[in-house]
Amino acid sequence: MAKEKLGIVVSEFNPKITHRMEKAALEHARKQGAEIACAVKVPGAYEIPFAAKKMLLRKDIDAVAALGAIIKGDTDHDLVIGHAAAKSLQELSLEFNKPVSLGIIGPNATWEHAEKRAEEYSRRAVDAALKMLRLFKEAH
């Protein structure tokens, strides 16, 4: 059976957290037997859906894992960004009939919360993308 080809999109905003997330996702994907076909960095979580769409257009991408950390500030900006990114990623998954997993910490997350969950969210995003891919392959 051919290896699943995974794309990973990582937000560069909050790099102390997101660089850890990227490293954990790449390592976990390899341990799960997936091939990283493409990994890109974007400025922030809001830009993740655009990069995910570009990946989903590629024939060598079976699924995408989206990684980022949206930290709560003094306004509700984190809520706007988080909801927009999540909804867009869900719509892309349905449009392209390929799994797109959500490994974005937040909204409403504190810095401490994000630091604590960085690797966990990354592994879960990779697992979700691969499980959905494998489920789809088994069903057809």
Indicate the DSSP class of residue 33. Answer: T
User: Does 113 qualify as catalytic in the annotation?
Assistant: no
| The two structure tokens encoding residue 121 | 């969210």
CA nearest neighbour of 53 among 41, 64, 37:
64
Give the H/E segment covering residue 51: helix 48-56
How far is residue 94's CA from residue 30's CA, in Å, rounded to a whole number? 26
Catalytic residue among 19, 28, 77, 113: 77
Asked if 9 contacts 67 with a C-beta cutoff of 8 angstroms, the reply is yes
Catalytic residues: 77
